């Protein structure tokens, strides 16, 4: 696997002598979702600021695709294009009088011709679901909308890596979920994503890799289950255990569960309990997967109105836009695949509306789940009009 960002013996002290980063060695794989987790002051933001050259290390080095970062103006421009950074506070990032000008700032600075700027800004705003917001002043927008504008500003420069410092801080639960779901979509499109957070629930369910930091050092890295499965380590870092991990340890302590790894989500927790109770699963409902870019809205309406679907989930900006346009109310907007599997396991049928690479991702996730759990869930994929394919 290609190493996209590496650090070697990286250290950084601020001007007042605070040593924020102490000899960090990490390497991050291309295409992964990585969460830097740790309490306030652990050094997460400082490390991120060094990954795209905003801060220059006192010692050690950062490598991008195997090459050490250089700090002359041209090299910095190029690394900041390749590794885009979304700040914790959107007001630190948004400064232009209109949304369009804000998103266009990066591409204009990179010297893109005006046609290309227009195209990239249009694409980025569409991606984050803010078409029609071009003339609005960013400071009049909600917190979630500001975050989307900040993300669009980075997207418009076509980065390979996106770094987001505490992407959900100060957002309400629905906005947080929308942002995290957008990040999933970007990752399915091939982007490497690095977030920092002290929200353990978010990191646990989202990250392919967790890097736990404390006092300027990396104390553990691994899968979310490896890192959060270590109760002492998490407590020592002054963090909470994710709820499913807490329940898992309780079940282990009472002798109710004996599996060696904590469940990753509610679906796995329910499976563990059902397996333990020996109850056979009831007949499963069906899951429909619909590619909203390819299927006419009437087809989707027909399916829903026929009342064969009890729950509807929307994954990605295109699905959300269609649901708004057609007045289709979504029951699930985050964790959609697992929630639909949970419903199918209780005999209900569900529709997943999505697009692009996430269609196959949804199908594979359901098939993998069925293979691992032994459950039988009928899945139907609709990718062209009148073409339901039994999978």
3-state secondary structure of 159: coil
* Paired residues of 26 in beta bridges: 7
Q: Is 52 in the site for ligand ADP (CB under 6 A)?
A: no
Q: Is 344 in the site for ligand ADP (CB under 6 A)?
A: no
Binding mask 111-140 for ligand ADP (x = CB under 6 A): ------------------------------
Q: Is 56 in the site for ligand ADP (CB under 6 A)?
A: no
DSSP string, 93-157: T--SSSHHHHHHHHHHHTT--HHHHHHHHHHHHHHTT-TT-TTS-GGGS-HHHHHHHHHHHHHTT
From 33-41, 105-113, 120-128, 311-319, span contacting ligand ADP (CB under 6 A): 33-41
What 8-state DSSP symbol labels residue 90?
A: G
Rounded CA gap, 41 and 91, in Å? Answer: 21
From 38-46, 124-132, 264-272, 275-283, span contacting ligand ADP (CB under 6 A): 38-46
Q: Minimum CB separation from ligand ADP for residue 338, in Å?
A: 30
From 43-51, 78-86, 107-115, 222-230, span contacting ligand ADP (CB under 6 A): 43-51
Phi, psi of 196 (to 5 degrees): -110, 145
Taking CA 30 as the corner, what is the angle to CA 29 and CA 36, rounded to the nearest 5 degrees?
55
Q: Minimum CB separation from ligand ADP for residue 323, in Å?
A: 36
Q: Characterise 40 by phi-psi region: left (phi > 0), alpha (psi -120 to 50), beta (else).
A: beta
Q: Is 43 in the site for ligand ADP (CB under 6 A)?
A: yes
Residues 167-196 that bind ligand ADP (CB under 6 A): 196
Site size for ligand ADP (CB under 6 A): 13
Q: Is 57 in the site for ligand ADP (CB under 6 A)?
A: no
Taking CA 125 as the corner, what is the angle to CA 124 and CA 128, rounded to the nearest 5 degrees?
90
Q: Minimum CB separation from ligand ADP for residue 39, in Å?
A: 7
Tokens standing for residue 75 = 């090299």
Q: Minimum CB separation from ligand ADP for residue 22, in Å?
A: 10
Q: Closer to ligand ADP at the Cβ: 130 or 210?
A: 210
Q: Closer to ligand ADP at the Cβ: 198 or 361?
A: 198
Number of CB atoms found within 10 A of residue 335's CB? 20
**Pick from 5, 10, 20, 289: which binds ligand ADP (CB under 6 A)?**
20
**Pick from 7, 37, 38, 69: which binds ligand ADP (CB under 6 A)?**
38
Over its C-alpha atoms, the chain yields an Rg (Å, rounded) of 22
Tokens standing for residue 386 = 């009148």
Rounded CA gap, 50 and 53, in Å? Answer: 5
Q: Minimum CB separation from ligand ADP for residue 271, in Å?
A: 35
Q: Is 71 in the site for ligand ADP (CB under 6 A)?
A: no
């Amino acid at each position: 696997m290609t190493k996209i960002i590496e650090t070697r013996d990286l250290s950084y002290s601020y001007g007042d002598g605070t040593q924020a980063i102490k000899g960090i060695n990490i390497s991050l794989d291309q295409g992964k979702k990585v969460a830097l987790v740790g309490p306030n002051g652990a050094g997460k933001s400082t490390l991120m600021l060094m990954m795209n050259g905003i801060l220059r290390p006192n010692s050690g080095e950062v490598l991008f695709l195997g090459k050490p970062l250089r700090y002359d103006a041209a090299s910095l421009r190029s690394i900041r294009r390749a590794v885009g950074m979304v700040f914790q506070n959107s007001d630190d990032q948004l400064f232009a009088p209109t949304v369009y000008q804000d998103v266009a700032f990066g591409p204009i600075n990179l010297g893109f011709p005006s046609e290309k700027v227009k195209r990239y800004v249009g694409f980025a705003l569409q991606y984050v679901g803010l078409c029609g917001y071009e003339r609005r002043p960013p400071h009049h927008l909600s917190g979630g909308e500001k975050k989307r504008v900040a993300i669009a500003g980075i997207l418009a420069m076509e980065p390979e890596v996106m770094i987001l410092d505490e992407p959900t801080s100060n957002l309400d639960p629905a906005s947080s979920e929308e942002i995290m779901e957008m990040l999933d979509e970007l990752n399915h499109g091939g982007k490497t994503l690095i977030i920092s957070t002290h929200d353990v629930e978010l990191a646990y369910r989202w990250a392919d890799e967790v890097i736990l930091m404390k006092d300027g050092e990396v104390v553990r890295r691994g899968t979310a289950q490896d890192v959060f499965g270590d109760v002492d380590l998490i407590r020592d870092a002054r963090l909470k255990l994710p709820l499913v991990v807490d329940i898992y340890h309780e079940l282990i302590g009472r002798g109710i569960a004996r599996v060696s790894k904590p469940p990753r989500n509610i679906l796995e927790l329910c499976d563990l309990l059902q397996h333990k109770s020996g109850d056979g699963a009831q007949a499963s409902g069906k899951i429909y997967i619909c590619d909203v870019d390819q299927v006419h809205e009437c087809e989707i309406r027909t399916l829903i109105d026929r009342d064969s679907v009890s729950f509807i989930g929307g994954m990605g900006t295109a699905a959300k836009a269609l649901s708004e346009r057609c007045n289709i109310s979504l029951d699930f907007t985050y964790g959609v695949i697992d929630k639909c599997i949970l419903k199918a396991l209780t005999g209900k049928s569900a529709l997943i509306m999505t697009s692009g690479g996430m269609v196959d991702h949804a199908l594979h996730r359901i098939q993998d789940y069925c293979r691992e759990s032994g459950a039988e869930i009928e899945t139907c994929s609709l990718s062209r009009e009148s073409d339901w394919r039994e999978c």
